[in-house]
Amino acid sequence: MMDSEDEVQAPAPISIELDSLDVSYDAQAPVKGQGRMDAAWGSSQGDEVNTAQVAPSKDTTGFIFEQVYQPWNGTLNPRWMRNWAILRHHVAGIFRKGHRPWSIPTRLFLVVVFIASLADVGLTLLSALIGSADLHSVWGVNRDNLYGHVLGFFPRNVLYFPIVAALLVGGVISEDRLHGTSALYFSRPINRFDYVMMKYLSVAIIQAMIVLLTLFLYYFAEIVSMGRGWAWIIDTFPLFLAAFAGGTLLIITYTSIGLGLSSVSKGKFFPGIGLIAIVLGSKTLAIIVSQLFDREILYLLSPYDCLAHVGQALIGTEPTYDQYSWTWSLASLVAMNALSLYVLSSRVSSMEVTRE
């Protein structure tokens, strides 16, 4: 038997005073989706207090929120209105706020290129004003000048049009992947075909304002300033339509390649630089191979040279590619556009209604 002094005494029960915990909820605090749990603790010393100790914390505010998704029971806008909203969001952002936030450098460059593309218009008006036949023979509307307005290499297809396309396609689709904007599109009754089509038309329309609108102003300025009659219009209008078709083919090709690159990226730098590298890099490589080995086969891999070859055949100017037919260039353009559109469609079809 052990003495009473040696008996082991059971520890006193520990009570937890919940009233001593100061738990508050601040309704004005921002919901961050984060919370903090403070655990009670004890040690070999200090248990005689018989109360739970709470770890000190500077942030004692917890956040509780609940997300409930309610079905939409209202009347949806028609399909054309939803598509128009996407198109207006991109195109109107060039001119005013409240739509796509195009950067200031992009807007300034578009204005500069638009004015620079009207150089032949200004020189045509100047030649008519001073009555200079020599100046008009250089800058007036003719077969070669109509070709050069849309497909000339310098400065239009080396400084103007590819850079404009690169600035436009940079973040059109890639930023939707980066910021999860696709959730705003595909959580609504917008199918992926409409999404791609409106993005495509947005970029193409902005390019058409520079390429095709300036072509029309150039042709119209010749009629007004020189007082051309119906006979002259009937003779030159087929050339204008051929140049218009060449400019349209240029816009389609640059837009397809650019959006295809944008769909595989999550930033605006790679699609823009990639488009310029494809257009100008393939052109430079084809020139080097042609000069060294007298072979023009690599021109079929250059979007610019294929466009130039087809444009020369459409307008009827002196061809600069004589080792193969222009139909090969047309087939190469079809293959380039088909491959770019395939990449674009496959990547958009894989976009989820979440941030990737």
How large is the average pLDDT for residues 165-177?
90
Write the DSSP assignment of 200-220 as a string of letters. HHHHHHHHHHHHHHHHHHHHH
Does 105 fall in a domain? yes
CA distance 304 to 323: 17
Cβ neighbours of residue 209 closer than 8 Å, sequence gap 6 or more: 114
Task: Say yes or no to pLDDT of 89 above 60.
Answer: yes
CA distance 328 to 307: 11
How large is the average pLDDT for residues 110-132?
94
Task: Say yes or no to pLDDT of 100 above 70.
Answer: yes
CA distance 86 to 348: 16
Does 3 fall in a domain? no
How large is the average pLDDT for residues 68-73?
71
- What residues does 31 pair with on adjacent strands? none
Cis peptide before 155 (omega within 30 of 0): yes
Task: Say yes or no to pLDDT of 35 above 50.
Answer: no
pLDDT at 217: 97
Task: Say yes or no to pLDDT of 123 above 50.
Answer: yes
CA distance 240 to 243: 5
Task: Say yes or no to pLDDT of 2 above 90.
Answer: no
Does 326 fall in a domain? yes
Tokens representing residue 144 in the block: 């070669």
- Work out the pLDDT band at 302, boundaries 50, 70, 90: very high
Does 6 fall in a domain? no
Task: Say yes or no to pLDDT of 206 above 60.
Answer: yes
pLDDT at 53: 53
CA distance 199 to 347: 14
Is residue 335 within 8 Å of 351, Cβ to Cβ?
no
Q: Parallel, antiparallel, or unpaired for β 40-41 and 53-54? A: antiparallel
Nearest to 343 by CA among 274, 245, 289, 240: 274
Task: Say yes or no to pLDDT of 40 above 60.
Answer: no
How large is the average pLDDT for residues 193-212?
96
Task: Say yes or no to pLDDT of 64 above 70.
Answer: no
Number of domains in the chain: 1
Q: Whole domain around residue 102: which residue ranges?
A: 79-349
* Three-state DSSP state, 52: coil
Neighbours of 129 (CB within 10 A): 9
Is residue 52 within 8 Å of 16, Cβ to Cβ?
yes
Q: What b/e string do you get for 310-326 counting C-beta neighbours within 10 Å, with b at 16 or more?
A: bbbbbbebeeebeeeeb
Tokens representing residue 349 in the block: 């079809």
pLDDT tens digits along 125-151? 999 999 889 999 999 999 999 999 999
Among 1-5, 288-292, 340-344, the minimum mean pLDDT is found in 1-5
How large is the average pLDDT for residues 18-37?
48
How large is the average pLDDT for residues 33-39?
47
Does 188 fall in a domain? yes
Does 27 fall in a domain? no
Task: Say yes or no to pLDDT of 39 above 60.
Answer: no
Average pLDDT across the chain, whole number = 84
**Inter-CA distances, 5 with 9, 48, 120, Å:** 10, 20, 114
- Work out the pLDDT band at 14, boundaries 50, 70, 90: very low
Tokens representing residue 314 in the block: 């459409």
Does 138 fall in a domain? yes
- DSSP state for residue 296 in the 8-state scheme: -
**Inter-CA distances, 312 with 129, 299, 320, 347, Å:** 31, 14, 8, 35
Task: Say yes or no to pLDDT of 204 above 60.
Answer: yes
- Which is more confidently placed, 36 or 171? 171
pLDDT at 59: 54
Does 50 fall in a domain? no
Q: What b/e string do you get for 85-107 counting C-beta neighbours within 10 Å, with b at 16 or more?
A: ebeeebbebbeeeeebebeeebe
